[in-house]
Structure 1
Amino acid sequence: MAGNTQRRNRRTSNKKGMQVGSGGQRRKALEGKGPTPPASERKGHKKNRLANAKARHETKRPAPRRGGPKGTNELVVGRNSVVEALREGVPANTLYVQQYLDNDERVREAIQLASEKGLNLMEAPRPELDRMTNGLNHQGLVLQVPPYDYAHPDDLTAAAFDAGEDPLIVALDGITDPRNLGAVVRSASAFGGHGVVVPERRAAGMTASAWKTSAGTAARTPVARATNMTRLLESYQKAGLTVVGLAADGDVELHELEALAGPVVIVVGSEGKGLSRLVGETCDFRVRIPMPGGAESLNAGVAAGVVLYEASRRRA
């Protein structure tokens, strides 16, 4: 019957409340979701999109180099190489040793030499050494060598004049093998040279390999860098030095060159290309080394040693 308010379970109000059958338990059972997350974590929010874009950009960046910024430190890797570098007095600062490494004779010697020289000894897991060396076969030993402290070219002549001696300097033009550089440094030290000059670009520098070849003489024979070799040679000429370039087709034979007895710069070019055009034109003399045996050319390190010996003989 319409309007009968006595009907069971009939709703008589719009106000929500407990319902028959559930007793309101489902509503009470709902749990809160906690505090509202920040905007950068809420999907679809502008700040969330910006955060995701930044994260994608970061993953595309190359991983930073381990062991110091690029161009500032050199790494010598491998047990034999590390031991030889330490024996020859390469100026390292840190020896990294792999954790749980099997100790053989080379590992023990490397650790002993590093301790005697006061180097930092660092233990690192293999994955870390792999990253430092870009996956090279380090065999559990990595030696960090700091950048070489190059002299200024004017320091070489200043040191000679201060000592009351005529400067004897070797300039390398286009030498890219660091072992040749090390050999020249060794010869310069043996025959009284006051230093070696190398170009700043496209030339060998004082790497660990050059240090090893110099047999430790790089510690007492300075190496300087020149921004422009031609301008440097011209400045040496103005300071009273004779510039002598070695060339297979030179006009003067080595034993005829009297200038070696005075202040001189000996310029050595690469074995293949020789002196560059501008450097060759700047030289006061182009000198050839007589070779009765018929060889076409000499290694740059050997050629420099021959001329340095002749200069030392004349000065004596």
Structure 2
Amino acid sequence: MPGNSPRPNRRTSNKKGPQIGSGGQRRRGLRGKGPTPPAEMRTGHAKKRAADVKARQQASRQGARRGAKAANELVVGRNPVLEALRAGVPANALYVQQFLESDDRVTDAVKLAVARPDLHLVESPKPELDRITSGLNHQGLVLQVPPYDYAHPDDLLEVAAESGRDPLIVVLDGVTDPRNLGAVVRSTAAFGGHGVVVPERRAAGMTATAWKTSAGTAATTPVARATNLTRALQGYQRAGLIVVGLAADGEAELSDLDALDGPVAIVVGSEGKGLSRLVGETCDLRVRIPMPGGAESLNAGVAAGVALYAAATRRA
């Protein structure tokens, strides 16, 4: 029977013996775990997982923006590279394929590169050029163009002050063709303007194509980039400039506009969409360019040139 076994040290019951001490477990249990953390900080909680995903996405977007600002532009192909070098597009390296079968374009490109002390001439194997151009047909020539150093919109006011003339600034709203931007820069330089402002997003930037179209005037005419175009225009208004928007349904004709005599910012929209709503509402005046020939619209480069000519004529 249980409890009557003659053998010593034999366990005769399933019950544990008396427990000596608790090892501090009761004390820790009485102490508690403190306040409950927010759901976003609790491991395994759905809100914690969602917050982690959002943080990773935000970090990825910021990294992409930083990479885009710091990235070099590549001009590939014999004709584009030679045209960029002849136009004086700023570049920091010309890559030439090893053992390349040369022609006049390659010879002229190398001569132009050697004549520029700020441009490095690099000989590279074809696989390396294929890699850096992501497989584009580079024809053995690749020109590396550094990112453009944009001015701040307020810097254009300082340029005007140093010139001793009333500010004449062109602002582009939603113009996405870099050739139009280059043409506007060229017209701004030709008619005595003090610079061009472009939005930071959804707009053309100063690429190699814009440089070539500007015919070298981008070297002396500053281009500013605005994070918020509406705020930049409001800043110009506070500085005493009249903001004039070009629009097909404008209230007055450009040729009758007295505001062109003084400090003015001329806003040009895209040919298809025109001025955006907020930018149009911010303008002090909206004017139209008379077109007796019956054309419905002009592209941004031509429209800006007409407006700048009108301003230069009145100021003269």
Smaller-chain TM-score range?
Answer: 0.7 to 0.9
Per-residue deviation, residues 124-167 of structure 1 (Å, max 9, x unmatched): 11110011001110000000000001011111011212322100
Per-residue deviation, residues 218-277 of structure 1 (Å, max 9, x unmatched): 000000000000011011001000000000111110111000010000000000000000
Partner of 2:207: 207
Is the Cα–Cα contact under 8 Å of residues 69 and 147 in structure 2 kept in the other structure? no
Question: Is 1:91 aligned to 2:71, yes or no?
Answer: no
Give the Å deviation of 1:70: 7.3
Q: Distance in 2 between matches of 1:265 and 1:240?
A: 10
> Which aligned segments of 4 or more residues in structure 1 are displaced greater than 3 angstroms?
68-71
Question: Is 1:108 aligned to 2:107, yes or no?
Answer: yes
Secondary structure at the counterpart of residue 144 of structure 2: strand
> Sequence identity, in percent?
78
Partner of 2:279: 279
Equivalent residue letter for 2:108: E
Q: Distance in 2 between matches of 1:216 and 1:223?
A: 13
Question: Following superposition of structure 1 onto structure 2, how do residues 294-305 of structure 1 map, counting pairs within 5 Å?
Answer: 294-305=294-305
Partner of 1:194: 194
Give the Å deviation of 1:285: 0.6
Structure 1 130/113 Cα, relative in aligned 2: closer, same or farther at 3 Å?
Answer: same
Partner of 1:80: 79
Give the Å deviation of 1:71: 4.5
Partner of 2:150: 150
Q: Which has the larger radius of gyration?
A: 1
Secondary structure at the counterpart of residue 291 of structure 2: coil
Equivalent residue letter for 2:132: M
Partner of 1:243: 243
Per-residue deviation, residues 32-68 of structure 1 (Å, max 9, x unmatched): xxxxxxxxxxxxxxxxxxxxxxxxxxxxxxxxxxxx9
Give the Å deviation of 1:69: 7.5
Partner of 2:126: 126
Give the Å deviation of 1:72: 1.9
Equivalent residue letter for 1:92: A
Which consecutive residues of structure 1, in runs of 5 or more, have no partner in the other structure? Answer: 1-67
Q: Distance in 2 between matches of 1:238 and 1:249?
A: 26
Q: Distance in 1 between matches of 2:256 and 2:121?
A: 55
Partner of 2:221: 221
Question: Following superposition of structure 1 onto structure 2, how do residues 158-197 of structure 1 map, counting pairs within 5 Å?
Answer: 158-197=158-197
The answer to which of 68-77 and 158-167 deviates more is 68-77
Give the Å deviation of 1:117: 1.2
Structure 1 264/69 Cα, relative in aligned 2: closer, same or farther at 3 Å?
Answer: closer
Equivalent residue letter for 1:215: A
Which consecutive residues of structure 2, in runs of 5 or more, have no partner in the other structure? Answer: 1-66
The answer to which of 214-223 and 155-164 deviates more is 155-164
Q: Distance in 1 between matches of 2:252 and 2:68?
A: 47
Q: Distance in 2 between matches of 1:78 and 1:271?
A: 30
Per-residue deviation, residues 168-192 of structure 1 (Å, max 9, x unmatched): 0000000001000000000000000
Secondary structure at the counterpart of residue 209 of structure 2: helix
Secondary structure at the counterpart of residue 134 of structure 2: coil
Equivalent residue letter for 2:123: E
Is the Cα–Cα contact under 8 Å of residues 198 and 226 in structure 2 kept in the other structure? yes
Structure 1 69/157 Cα, relative in aligned 2: closer, same or farther at 3 Å?
Answer: closer
Partner of 2:258: 258
Partner of 1:314: 314
Give the Å deviation of 1:289: 0.3
Structure 1 245/69 Cα, relative in aligned 2: closer, same or farther at 3 Å?
Answer: closer
Q: Distance in 2 between matches of 1:105 and 1:163?
A: 43
Partner of 2:47: none
Q: Distance in 2 between matches of 1:179 and 1:99?
A: 33
Is the Cα–Cα contact under 8 Å of residues 75 and 208 in structure 2 kept in the other structure? yes
